Structure 1
């Protein structure tokens, strides 16, 4: 079995992502892997035009997203100072969420990707697509998805 050194946990702050936190903590604790939490901000229609291909979250949104990330980590990973693993996090702007999750996993040399999924099916899935499914199809490392338990 591959040694887990870094786990990439992609969150959109949804219920599905929250359900994945326990699994992420347990895997990091048991393996001693670093847990890197990433939130991908999808490019918005109201964003100013960028001079380059590098997207940047508008300043008007950056502080709110950082607060949301810190709130999420504080709520679902409350005792980090007592854990045997380290947590890092990042907020990244991107045009395509799924490909950016895979790219971030490559950047941090992740051994595994973890993410929640809302578990859409039928017409909803056809119209909205599935970020988790696209990540599973394109990632070069194992991907663990935890489905929202509301269904």
Structure 2
């Protein structure tokens, strides 16, 4: 593996979910080990299956443009993650990017445009009818990407019990 590979960014698409958080935490550690920059991407998309995603998440704020609200959410997501996990320190090189469009297509476009070395992303892991109807962004990216894709899943939240 050449040194050039290490200067190419690791692309981490986020949707502010616990799965995205887990993927970003994993990618930060990977970037530190490989001395790679991180490119954190959020694709602004409010599909018919999730109408009002941004307006519900930002109900206390007055929205002028959906992109402005999404940018605020991205900043808050990264700030909160840094506060909750100070042991991670600051990655060598971190850039965040907000784009509009269809998530799987835009993720692949940005990976290509920025010559990403790999994509690390979370997955909600939809199954059954929901998966058949709307598919999975992570699955579409994984099948169409020309670079390695790592899918990270967070542990399911505990439901008030101390036993596993």
State the TM-score bracket (shorter-chain normalisation).
0.7 to 0.9
Note the C-alpha offset of 1:98: 0.5
The answer to whether the Cα contact below 8 Å between 2:10 and 2:117 also exists between their aligned partners in 1 is: yes
Note the C-alpha offset of 1:149: 2.3
Alignment-derived partner of residue 95 in structure 2? 88
**Normalising to structure 1: TM-score of the pair?**
0.81
**Structure 1 runs of 4+ with >6 Å offset:** none
Alignment-derived partner of residue 124 in structure 2? 118
C-alpha separation between the residues in 2 aligned to 1:43 and 1:21?
22
C-alpha separation between the residues in 2 aligned to 1:19 and 1:44?
24
Alignment-derived partner of residue 103 in structure 2? 97
SS at match of 1:83: coil
- CA displacement 1:1-30 (0-9 Å, x = unmatched): 463331000001112111112111101111
SS at match of 2:38: strand
RMSD over equivalenced CA pairs, Å: 2.5
Note the C-alpha offset of 1:83: 2.7
The answer to whether the Cα contact below 8 Å between 2:44 and 2:67 also exists between their aligned partners in 1 is: no
Select the structure that is richer in helix.
2
Structure 2 residues not aligned, in runs of 5+: 52-62, 158-164
Structure 1 residues not aligned, in runs of 5+: 47-57
Report whether the alignment pairs 1:67 with 2:51.
no
C-alpha separation between the residues in 2 aligned to 1:84 and 1:43?
30
Mapping 1:43-54, distance limit 5 Å: none
Larger-Rg structure: 2
